[in-house]
Amino acid sequence: MKAYNVCVVGIGAVGAEMVRLLRRRKFPVKSLTILARSERTETIDGETYPVKVAAPEAFDGVDFAFFAGTEGAKGASQTLGWEAVKRGAVVIDNGDDFRMDPRVPLVIPEINPEALRGHQGLIANPNCSTIMALLPLAPLHKAARIQRIVAATYQAVSGTGAPAIRELEEQARAWVAGRPVEHKVYPHQILFNLLPSIGSVKDDSGETTEEIKMRNETRKILGDDAIRVCATCVRVPVFNGHSEALNVEFERPLGPDEARALLAGTPGVIVADDMQRNLYPMPMDCSGRYEVLVGRIRRDASVKNGLALFVAGDNIWKGAALNAVQIAEVLIA
């Protein structure tokens, strides 16, 4: 098997998981380079890696460049992404700078791998919440055509990056010790709290950038600009694993049993739906899993042809690092 020169740009929460997953999935790595803002060493699972400064010449000879930018640490692909492409690398970008760029495929390998055909060297990872929603919704859309989605997300702090994970842990330790609970990463305390604001408000719609991403990315990935999407994105005091409540309106009737049957055979999806046994998707169960869990599948009687469901997935794995590695695996295949 051919081996490839690989680099990971950024070594926070997502970058570290990219390194782990490349090893775990036995990606054919010839050499691995880690790039960041400053030169240093990083230890991942007991192995020490040298970190070099991200600069244009660092991409010479690189086959795959994974840009690990998250909400809290992004921008590298803006300055270096196309430069890496010019030097021969295929760039897979976890940031949001190029997702809606018409030159750039926005890919979930289980849903639209055909979008990779004829790519121009830069491929975008969708937003974590979009990935979680669309893995179960894509087969339902194919069967009954989605007209409208109302989504409420429950997003873990790992989506913001390593500093937010530390902040939640420090707040929990402070509360147990009876010390004042301080916050820096978020505008309010996240411990025992919910923050219904992820991203920023760019216009007078009142929507945040995270909510706008869900609508625009859903349309691009499913290839249907007529789908109406209303999302409310909420940060919750969970370390890892995003969850979402989805209410979906279809063009034709689609019952819960038919939906379960479709989802049971969907790659990347596990049906966890048995209320009698208290079986439903939870962040604790999805963290560290490749698949997205879906459950609470039931009729939504408030609209014609409505269905309600609940999903949970590992936002750092399938929502970011894993999806990026899978894109590279599809390209190799």
CA 60, CA 105: separation in Å to the nearest integer? 23
pLDDT higher than 90, residue 202? no
Residues in the chain: 333
Per-residue DSSP letter, 173 = H
Contact 239, 153 (CB under 8 A): no
Average pLDDT estimate for 178-200: 98
Contact 143, 255 (CB under 8 A): no
Query: Which is the catalytic residue, given 7, 128, 233, 286?
Result: 128
> pLDDT, tens digit, for every residue of 286-299?
999 999 999 999 99
Q: In the chain, what are the domain boundaries? A: 4-125+320-332, 130-315
When the candidates are 3.30.750.24, 3.40.50.1970, 3.40.1080.10, 3.40.50.720, the CATH number that belongs to 4-125+320-332 is 3.40.50.720
Model confidence at 43, pLDDT cuts 50, 70, 90, reads very high
Distance of CA 69 to the CA centre of its chain: 11
CA 33, CA 238: separation in Å to the nearest integer? 31
pLDDT higher than 70, residue 305? yes
Strands 90-93 and 146-155: unpaired
Average pLDDT estimate for 169-184: 98
Average pLDDT estimate for 30-53: 95
Residue 241 φ then ψ, to 5°: 110, 110
Alpha carbon distances (Å) from 110 to 4, 131, 138: 23, 10, 9
Give the range among 68-82, 112-126, 156-170, 192-206 with minimum mean pLDDT: 68-82
Q: Is 233 one of the catalytic residues?
A: no
Here the tokens at position 272 are 């966890």
Architecture of domain 130-315: 2-Layer Sandwich (3.30)
CA 298, CA 77: separation in Å to the nearest integer? 41
> pLDDT, tens digit, for every residue of 306-332?
999 999 999 999 999 999 999 999 999
CA 109, CA 107: separation in Å to the nearest integer? 6
Q: Is 128 one of the catalytic residues?
A: yes
Q: What is the mean pLDDT of the chain?
A: 96
Contact 254, 145 (CB under 8 A): no
Map tokens 């979906």 to a residue. Answer: 248
Per-residue DSSP letter, 263 = H
pLDDT higher than 80, residue 92? yes
pLDDT at 70: 55
* Percent above pLDDT 90 for the chain: 95
Here the tokens at position 165 are 């994970």
Model confidence at 71, pLDDT cuts 50, 70, 90, reads very low
Buried b (16+ CB within 10 A) or exposed e, 143-173: ebbbbbbbbbbbbbbbbbbbebbebbebbbe
Map tokens 């990315």 to a residue. Answer: 217
> pLDDT, tens digit, for every residue of 223-261?
999 999 999 999 999 999 999 999 999 999 999 999 999
**130-315 has the same fold as 4-125+320-332:** no
Helix ranges (DSSP H) in the chain: 13-24, 76-86, 128-144, 162-177, 209-222, 256-264, 283-286, 322-332
Nearest to 124 by CA among 69, 86, 161: 69
pLDDT higher than 60, residue 72? no
Strands (E) located in 195-332: 228-235, 242-250, 269-271, 292-299, 306-313
> pLDDT, tens digit, for every residue of 143-167?
999 999 999 999 999 999 889 999 9
Q: What's the N-to-C CA distance of the chain in angstroms?
A: 11
Residue 86 φ then ψ, to 5°: -60, -30
Beta-bridge partners for 36: 53
Query: Which is the catalytic residue, given 7, 233, 242, 286?
Result: 242
